Amino acid sequence: MNSSAESTQVNTRPTRVHFDSDSMWVDLSDGRVIGVPLAWFPRLLHSTPEQREQVRISSRGLHWEALDEDISIAGLLAGQGDQTTSHKTFAA
């Protein structure tokens, strides 16, 4: 059985993406707006405004072909940033 939170996430899709100097904003079909720091996604942080505008919006997330960047709405709702970098811990 799915919880209502999981059900809401499945039915929620992005409708618009826009940026300011340090954040990405995603409008969702249920009226919510998610704002996340661009620092969470280094490829977007270091891209040009023109490259950021080349987003393809799908029912499950966002894709930038030229930047090789894919961001899921479920991941954004869970507070996850870029999952492609390894987070190594170094022993002292």
Asked if residue 37 belongs to a domain, the reply is yes
Maximal CA-CA distance, the chain: 47
Asked if the structure places residue 84 within a domain, the reply is no
From CA 82, how far away is CA 76, in angstroms rounded? 10
Whether this prediction's pTM lies above 0.85 is answered by: no
The whole-angstrom separation of Cα 19 and Cα 1 is 37
In a domain, 45, yes or no: yes
**Torsion angle, alpha carbons of 83, 7, 60, 42, to 10:** -30
- The sheet with strand 33-37 has its strands ordered as 14-19, 23-28, 33-37
> Under a CB-based contact definition with an 8 Å cutoff, are residues 81 and 40 in contact?
yes
> Residue 73 pLDDT > 60, yes or no?
yes
85 located within any domain: no
Q: Residue 89 pLDDT more than 80?
A: no
Asked if residue 67 belongs to a domain, the reply is: yes
Give the model's pLDDT for residue 92.
44
Mean pLDDT of 62-90: 83
Q: CB-based contacts of 35: which residues, under 8 Å, 6+ apart?
A: 23, 24, 25, 26
Residues of the chain with pLDDT > 90, as a percent, come to 71
Tens digits of residue pLDDT in 20-59: 999 999 999 999 999 999 999 999 999 999 999 999 999 9
Identify the pLDDT of residue 11: 75
Domain with 15 in it: what CATH number? 3.30.2020.40
